[in-house]
Structure 1
Amino acid sequence: MKTTTLTCALLVSTTLYGFAQQKPPIDHSVFDSWKNISAQNFSKSGKFIYYTISPQEGDAVTELKDTKNNLLFRLERGTSPKITEDEKFFISSIKPYYKETREAKIKKKKQDEMPKDSLAIFNILTKESLNLGAIKNWKSPRLTKSYIAYQQELEVPSKQDTVSKQVKTDSSATKSPAKKAPAKKETVLVLYNLESKDTVQIWKADSYYFDDNEKYLVFSKKGADKDTTGVAGLYLYDLAKKSQKKISNGKGNYKNISFDDLSQRLVFLADKSNEKALIKDFKVYNYNGQTDTATVLIDKQSAGIPANWYVSGDGNLSFSADGKKLLLGLAPIPKVKDTTLVDFEHAKVDIWHWQDDYLMTQQLVNVGRERTKNFDAIYNLETQKLIPLVDDNFSRVFFTSNGTEEWAITSRTSKENKIATQWSMSTPQDIILVSTNNGSKRVIKENHVGQSYLSPNATHVVFYDMEKSTWSVYDIATQQETSLSGGLTVSFADETNDMPAYAGSYGYAGWSEDGKGIYINDRYDIWYLSFDGKTKTNITNNYGRQHKVVLRAQIFRNNDPRKPSNVINPKKQLLLTSFNEKSKENGFFKLDLTKKNGLKEVIQSKNVYKRLISNEDQTVYALSKENYAEYPDLYLTKDFVNLTKLTDINPQQKNYNWGTAELVQWTTPNGYAAEGILYKPENFDSNKKYPIIAYFYETHTEGLYSYHEPAPTPSRLMISYFVSNGYLVFSPDIRYKTGQPGKDAEEYVNSGMKFLAQNPWVDESKMAIQGQSWGGYQVAHLITRTDMYAAAWTGAPVVNMTSAYGGIRWQSGMSRQFQYEKTQSRLGATLWENRDLYIENSPLFFLDRVKTPVAIMHNDNDGAVPWYQGIEMFTALRRLQKPVWLLNYNGDEHNLMQRQNRKDIQIRQAQFFDHFLKGKPAADWIKNGVKAIDKGIEWGLEVTE
């Protein structure tokens, strides 16, 4: 009996162990169903939380829960949810079924024939839900309580009344007459009362807007092409009185509807010129309820508008908090094209001039932005005086959130410095105060390289000087500048900066509530620096630097646009996030600023915390928690120690062979301490030998505890897929010195791989490397310096720094010179100052040494790295008769954006490494390629023995 029992136990144990070992690996079919969380938010009090769960492809679901994790409402295909201010109603759009939309796209249906969104309303108190049917769009007041509005297509009543019609939701007016030809449909604006469910149908309405306080609905009507009824114009609907009033007459483009904070006054922009007019003549209209109609407040003839300028239709239009000032945009009247000219008789030419402020490529990229560019002005509603604040010699203006204070700040860059931006990332600027009372200007800092910040009450301007790595403050009243960081030995500049450019700061944490100081970050800690220069206090008590823990204040944005969100209240506990540079652990601290030693650790763990949100009073929090093996589900907490799990959206993960992540440390050949992450399969067996792929960019170890979703990537290595499928993946950190980016990649990547190869479970003959963009460059360099890799995959690589140096980043139109001199390439010299340095770091000149099979991905719409770099690499290796493949995803970008292309590259990447590292048969595209004549017919993905 004993023997039998032991045998049974062994059998059960072996069976369970075998089951664990037999978990299937992730394959390409699982991606679409893997879900993620978005749009998480609390209701105002924190009683309710809602979020959306979406598969990578398919139908989403939105859930509403209370803080006890009770599911109150689950809405299939719900999206863009919102809870009313009184927390009575939950409102959400409903997307059409993914399958229906897909079928409609396949059938190439017109936009108006595509499946429509619908709208759901859930009464949280009564648990009643209502679907309002197909809609085009919907809006609500910022402080929603009782009303929403939406547009939908309804059948036109036989005797249509253009006056608003009040009906019940289930009105028979929306039903088609039986056994008759389909009735004509038109878009109608529907005002919906959440409490009574009554609706007001407003026919012929076009655009519409609510005020913040839910007092009014404003809408425009276009009218017929030949409008003889006088319908066209702008209307104001009083929600309390249930009455409407036409406040502006005539067809036109009505936009930028803006109420003052008390909803007592309304302004808007309107262009009522002929539709065929080449210049749109916008005017600012004003309505305060004391007149029958809105009147013109400002037009191009108004006193104060510069000659040949006008009111911009693209400018901002908003009141100050006290309602005494109106912010608007002005712009030069644009030149118009001569419509009598015949296109085919005139040249189309770009003329590049060496003294242009910006390269022609930048100008062309920014044409649309330049056409809508406008310049801030203030209209004083008490004095009725218009004050232009800046012209086209200045950058944008920064105001306080209230807009009531006199001072704002702007900047000005000289022509010479604008030109220099093509090779220098640090552009000197003059920082200028501008008065919103009279438009006067005061230069307070000349040729400043760095950042400038206006205090919330506009009494001070704080500067970070990148050249000196110092903080200072300018007192607007006394016109004196005071050093903030002077006398402190700690560095406020990025201590890890390894680029031949000025180091940036660690930023500021927030402003003091009393307006007398600012909180500044160093690498680890937070300092309070008073504006008088007398107080310089490390509020985290140097804990961060002593323990190599990065501490950062977490300040939650409030919902009031008038309240600055980055103000620290010293009477409230301050929540800090933390990151331990040694252990890579993350967590939270709390800081009581009323106590001398008020810093308290809450939690440090082998997890990453993200998506942190809170209710308005910060009494409850939600966040995601993740590590390599744990999906970042959503949790609810009040203390960050006790977490209530709200979601479990990917339980299927436990059915697949997953993996582990561990920190690896070694010493490089030149004696540098090095770190990297090693990912192993869940069923790792130290008695086996594994192929290994190194994936790198710059540094990755800060993400030791990050989750890697199995999703088609833009062209990076999908770590979770390869680990699940029996590969080791290694992500080493790379540290750089000026002038030797290629050698630095050798120093860290090669030495790290050799260090791991000492383990008997690493197959030294089956090692590979993969990188995208900057990582792609390093892959290209490494295979010219070593034969240790059995395969390599490089995405969007620069292989010729001499030709790329003079190239263009087509997405922005900028010259690429700054990258090589100052930033990522880290060469620190111009091509003419050190030609040999550019050649030494250009893999193209050494491709004759390559013995490693290499696949290149480079796409013809790459806006960051010119795709001829990939072509240079391919044609050189092809000429040299080296095994090389080039994938060009037509019309796609630097990183793949189209999902079908992302799916395709994952399959090909797996086939490529499976062949060269596991000895599997080569796919047809690897063996034979795909001829142009077969493009779209054959994809070459077949694998035959």
Structure 2
Amino acid sequence: MAILFATVFGLDGYAQKKPLDIEACMSWKRIDTPAISPTGRWVTYRVSLMESTSENKDAKMLHLFDTRTRKEILLPGVTEVSFYNNDQSLYYVDIDSTGTEKTILMALPSGKKREWSHQENFNPVEGTPYSISVLAVPKDTVKHTPAFSRLVIRDFRKETAFHIDSVSYYRLYDKGRSIAFIRNQSVGNTLCYGPLRGPYRTLYQSDVKKEPTAFSLDEKLLDGSFRVKDSLWYDFSLKKNVCNLVFDKKEIPIPAGMEMVRTDLSYYAKFLTFELKPSALIEKNRKELEPDKSFELELWTWNEFEVPTLQRRSRYRSMDLPKYVYDITTGKLVEAAPATTDLLAPDRAQEIRYMLYTDDTPYRMQREWLEDVPFDVYSIDIHTGERKKIGTAYRSIPKWSVNGKWAVMYDPIAQVWNKFDGMTGTITDISTAIGYPVFERMHDKPAPAPACGIAGWTADGNAVLIYDAYDWWKIDLTGVRKPECFTKGYGRRNGKVIRKMVSNIDKDIFGPDEKIMVSLWDENTMDEGVYLLDMRGRLKKLTEGAYTYTVHCFSDDQKYCIWNRQNISEFRDLWWSKSDFSNPVRITHINPQQENYNWGTVKVTEWTNYENKKNKGLLFFPEDYDASKEYPVLVQFYETHSEGLNTYHAPLLSSAMADVMYFVSNGYIVFMPDVHFTVGSPGQSSYDAVVSGTKFLIEQGIAHPGKIGLQGHSWSGYQVGYLVTKTDIFTCASIGAPITDMVTGYLGIRNGSGLPRYFMYEETQSRMGSTLWEAKEKYLSNSAIMEADKIRTPLLICHNDDDEAVAYEQGRALYLAMRRLQRPAWLLNYKGEGHFLNNLAAQKDWTIRMMQFFDYYLKATHEPRWMKEGIHLKERGIDQKYDLIKN
């Protein structure tokens, strides 16, 4: 296999810019699986077409970029590599023409390759010159020796090897220089350890055949644990060369005829949690009953736990069992939580008095009309068995501190964080003293507002760091200190939201010298910065600008990282730099063709809506925009968009919504207004924002009556359907997969999940906040189908008959209403497609027809023949009628 070398370069020039077309939309590429080598010198990634096709050869090519020489090695047919020998080599699995797998070793940076020719797998240990793996040695019928496993330790430089026989499990420690392993013996297995080449010491000798089989090991503390017969629990220390029996499960006083299942030993071996199951049931459950298949009845019962569309056989086979706690120190057994509940144990507690459990039993049936199934929180005194409800209708699971002393829990009704003391059982409000809300302030759904969240914990477990809308707050769980703003109020003063960034090194537990990489997002400019936050609350800027940043991963020593940034004009190309973002190197430039096309610009615009509130939205212009000319305007929206100012919009075929850049490049202005909803009046909320924003554009001379189109899909499809019943300001409208009748929508079932749609209306996106019978008039007044006779706007409706989210009949009903009223309307049903178009050919067709529809009404182009003549059954697939009728 040849190795191809390439150098990253850009285009020196380009031809006259042109509007995007269908073929251009299919040419855009993306970066897949970016990774950085352990030392940070090498970066790997793959490139794929955004519109995937069977001929996408680029996706089968691995790019290997040398950050020192700025050159690439291309590896055809390779999807993943692993580095070793301090990044001086890599290996990967190759499959030849016969289907045989081969391991290829490659020297770096030369690219010289050789095949691993040994029986055992290649498994290099970083920091050593060895490959270590287990080889299965078959039975020797001549020498009459049984099959066994052999641990082979091979020096991959000298090709020499030594081995340890009958090793079934092993762990390396001391940076790979030492080993602990289980050796299989005829009588009982042994746990041994020592330097990699020996000599080895025996730490434990079992008298039970074939046990133990495995062990846990903390490579820093050099201690661990293992089980024998799933009954004897041992811990050991390699430093002290000791192995101790912690306890014997047989000594636990469980009732006769019961068997322990799902056992879990706490971190410090202080207590054991488990469930008890009748032994007879264990045997009974192994036998699956065969159903009568002569007929199948689906029975719907009014008060059952869940409707048949949600029932899954696997869930009905599993059993809910009571949970128990065994205190190893005192030898006391307590039933901690009833069946049907979830036990929350403080795993790292040195002392234990109280545990928590959650019980969703009172709310299980309500999952059909609530966003999340609530649960009550109980405490259990494991000394006395006393139980007490300490939280009602919670939505997020309480979290124990690192030291297991306190649990932190968010009360969604009171909208405060509470602390539960694991020794006293008391509940304390820890967030009201902050003086600012700790829940999502822009939440506009009927469900309770969720908390802003937890950033993490101090390493000693005595403090938790929680978010408000802008800053971090340090809460002293010991109660000695008052809550302090960890970020010194910087976020609120500057209108910047400070949040932890996600990468391969982000963590929840912060040591005293920790430096946390955080994002600072400016709510006014929408710019983002990447900063370091130390444990004294000080911020240090690494990079900042009119971009959105993503950090992919860091090298093992955290000195280097790979990342991307994006905005309206800059694609999410891959960058490498030091971890402080200095010395950045742009690795990729995978969409140079962008320079050949008329692109777009974007800005945030602001106006006063009909609720007399400030309203924002995004306004996209062609890059060659001339304010003296009139442009068609496409109004397209969903919920809020202004926060996405610095988002790159790759031109793609439309699977639902109109592609922003495709329309902008073809001479449209695209307006995306933010919509903030009032519960109970989603349609009116949309009207107040969208229509007021559109009229503002007319007043500014940006939009012109007769040249304004409207487009939406799914939830915004509903809004578009509502809007055209209330205004004639839009020349035409495209509506995708809409709910047009809230009555039947509320009483429908999502075909994909099988979940009744009540929850959509009572707690989530549809934002009615009431049952149908509590707000009959509101359900009717917010239904477009009831006011269809008011529609004077030509409609292009797209709704597919296999839609798993919104019933196809909803979009079809609006078409039928328009047909009966003899108003211009077209319904596109891509047979067999779902809520979004997955078929590439269907996406092309929808992209073409949607553009032709808007061009006809907003640009006064000739009418496409499909709009004039329709496509009858005998013409389907034969004549698509894209051609325009010329008068």
TM tier, smaller:
0.7 to 0.9
How big is each residue's C-alpha offset from its partner over 1:69-106, in whole Å with a ceiling of 9 and x where there is no partner? 6346432343244434854543445699xxx9xxxxxx
Aligned to 1:663: 604
Does the alignment pair 1:607 with 2:547?
yes
Q: Aligned equivalents of 1:901 and 1:330: distance in 2?
A: 55
Partner of residue 918 from structure 1, selected from 843, 847, 859:
859
Partner of residue 517 from structure 1, selected from 446, 451, 463:
463
How many angstroms does 1:538 deviate by?
Answer: 0.9
Aligned length: 831
Aligned to 2:392: 447
Q: Aligned equivalents of 2:737 and 2:416: distance in 1?
A: 38
Q: Aligned equivalents of 2:223 and 2:882: distance in 1?
A: 66
Does the alignment pair 1:129 with 2:110?
no
Report which structure shows greater RCO (CA 8 Å, sep ≥6): 2
Does the alignment pair 1:627 with 2:611?
no
How many angstroms does 1:792 deviate by?
Answer: 1.7
Q: Aligned equivalents of 1:763 and 1:916: distance in 2?
A: 13
Aligned to 2:241: none
Aligned to 1:348: 296
Q: Aligned equivalents of 1:743 and 1:197: distance in 2?
A: 76
Does the alignment pair 1:678 with 2:640?
no
TM alignment of 1:299-448, pairs within 5 A: 333=281, 343-345=292-294, 347-362=295-310, 364=311, 366-371=312-317, 392-395=339-342, 397=344, 400=347, 411-425=357-371, 427-432=373-378, 443=388, 445-448=390-393
TM alignment of 1:734-745, pairs within 5 A: 734-745=675-686
Moved more, 902-911 or 439-448: 439-448
> Structure 1 584/414 Cα, relative in aligned 2: closer, same or farther at 3 Å?
closer
> Structure 1 668/928 Cα, relative in aligned 2: closer, same or farther at 3 Å?
same
> Structure 1 555/744 Cα, relative in aligned 2: closer, same or farther at 3 Å?
closer
Contact 2:547 2:567 in 1 (8 A): yes
TM alignment of 1:694-773, pairs within 5 A: 694-760=635-701, 762-773=703-714
Partner of residue 631 from structure 2, selected from 681, 684, 690:
690
Aligned to 1:173: none
How many angstroms does 1:683 deviate by?
Answer: 2.4
Q: Aligned equivalents of 2:726 and 2:553: distance in 1?
A: 48
TM alignment of 1:737-886, pairs within 5 A: 737-760=678-701, 762-886=703-827
Contact 2:675 2:689 in 1 (8 A): yes
> Structure 1 129/411 Cα, relative in aligned 2: closer, same or farther at 3 Å?
farther
AA partner of residue 513 (structure 2): K
AA partner of residue 553 (structure 1): K
Contact 2:106 2:114 in 1 (8 A): yes
Moved more, 402-411 or 47-56: 402-411
Aligned to 1:12: none
Q: Aligned equivalents of 1:75 and 1:875: distance in 2?
A: 56
> Structure 1 416/933 Cα, relative in aligned 2: closer, same or farther at 3 Å?
farther
How big is each residue's C-alpha offset from its partner over 1:815-837, in whole Å with a ceiling of 9 and x where there is no partner? 32222122222222222122101
> Structure 1 412/540 Cα, relative in aligned 2: closer, same or farther at 3 Å?
closer
Aligned to 2:31: 37
How big is each residue's C-alpha offset from its partner over 1:560-592, in whole Å with a ceiling of 9 and x where there is no partner? xxxxx2012343333321111111111123334
Q: Aligned equivalents of 1:23 and 1:164: distance in 2?
A: 69
Does the alignment pair 1:576 with 2:518?
yes
AA partner of residue 648 (structure 1): H
Aligned to 2:139: none
> Structure 1 210/702 Cα, relative in aligned 2: closer, same or farther at 3 Å?
farther
Aligned to 2:138: none
Aligned to 1:224: none
AA partner of residue 517 (structure 1): A
AA partner of residue 35 (structure 2): N
AA partner of residue 106 (structure 2): F
How many angstroms does 1:686 deviate by?
Answer: 2.6
Moved more, 378-387 or 720-729: 378-387
Look up the SS of the partner of 1:764 in the other structure.
Answer: coil
Look up the SS of the partner of 2:601 in the other structure.
Answer: strand
How big is each residue's C-alpha offset from its partner over 1:124-163, in whole Å with a ceiling of 9 and x where there is no partner? 4764334679x9x999999998548899xxxxxxxxx996
How many angstroms does 1:216 deviate by?
Answer: 9.3
How many angstroms does 1:646 deviate by?
Answer: 2.2
Look up the SS of the partner of 1:621 in the other structure.
Answer: strand
> Structure 1 195/349 Cα, relative in aligned 2: closer, same or farther at 3 Å?
farther
Q: Aligned equivalents of 1:377 and 1:131: distance in 2?
A: 54
How many angstroms does 1:778 deviate by?
Answer: 0.6
Aligned-residue sequence identity (percent) comes to: 29
> Structure 1 77/762 Cα, relative in aligned 2: closer, same or farther at 3 Å?
farther
Structure 2: stretches of 5+ with no match in the other structure: 1-12, 136-144, 163-167, 199-206, 237-246
How many angstroms does 1:845 deviate by?
Answer: 0.4
How big is each residue's C-alpha offset from its partner over 1:148-179, in whole Å with a ceiling of 9 and x where there is no partner? 8899xxxxxxxxx9968999xxxxxxxxxxxx
Q: Aligned equivalents of 2:30 and 2:582: distance in 1?
A: 24
How big is each residue's C-alpha offset from its partner over 1:311-349, in whole Å with a ceiling of 9 and x where there is no partner? 87xx7x98866789898888785876998978443x312
Look up the SS of the partner of 1:633 in the other structure.
Answer: coil
How many angstroms does 1:690 deviate by?
Answer: 1.7
Look up the SS of the partner of 1:742 in the other structure.
Answer: helix
How many angstroms does 1:679 deviate by?
Answer: 1.1
How many angstroms does 1:706 deviate by?
Answer: 0.6
Q: Aligned equivalents of 1:474 and 1:725: distance in 2?
A: 59
> Structure 1 583/439 Cα, relative in aligned 2: closer, same or farther at 3 Å?
farther
Partner of residue 566 from structure 1, selected from 504, 508, 515:
508
Contact 2:349 2:403 in 1 (8 A): no
Q: Aligned equivalents of 2:36 and 2:500: distance in 1?
A: 21
Contact 2:134 2:149 in 1 (8 A): no
Structure 1: stretches of 5+ with no match in the other structure: 1-18, 101-112, 152-160, 168-189, 201-207, 221-233, 270-282, 290-297, 560-564
How many angstroms does 1:369 deviate by?
Answer: 4.8
How many angstroms does 1:801 deviate by?
Answer: 0.8
CA RMSD, 1 decimal? 5.2
Contact 2:93 2:102 in 1 (8 A): yes
Moved more, 209-218 or 29-38: 209-218
Q: Aligned equivalents of 1:361 and 1:350: distance in 2?
A: 10
Q: Aligned equivalents of 1:815 and 1:93: distance in 2?
A: 47
Q: Aligned equivalents of 2:690 and 2:826: distance in 1?
A: 23
Contact 1:678 1:728 in 2 (8 A): yes
Aligned to 1:586: 528
Partner of residue 834 from structure 2, selected from 888, 893, 903:
893
Q: Aligned equivalents of 1:147 and 1:235: distance in 2?
A: 24
How many angstroms does 1:761 deviate by?
Answer: 5.6
Q: Aligned equivalents of 1:199 and 1:904: distance in 2?
A: 62
How many angstroms does 1:380 deviate by?
Answer: 10
Q: Aligned equivalents of 2:181 and 2:852: distance in 1?
A: 59
Contact 1:735 1:744 in 2 (8 A): yes
Aligned to 2:47: 53
Aligned to 2:404: 458
TM-score (norm 1): 0.74
Aligned to 2:202: none
Contact 1:482 1:533 in 2 (8 A): no
Q: Aligned equivalents of 1:893 and 1:593: distance in 2?
A: 49
How big is each residue's C-alpha offset from its partner over 1:893-945, in whole Å with a ceiling of 9 and x where there is no partner? 3334455544443333333333333344455544444445665x437264254
AA partner of residue 685 (structure 1): D
Q: Aligned equivalents of 2:258 and 2:854: distance in 1?
A: 62
How big is each residue's C-alpha offset from its partner over 1:542-572, in whole Å with a ceiling of 9 and x where there is no partner? 222122111123475559xxxxx20123433
Look up the SS of the partner of 2:717 in the other structure.
Answer: helix
Q: Aligned equivalents of 1:680 and 1:568: distance in 2?
A: 45
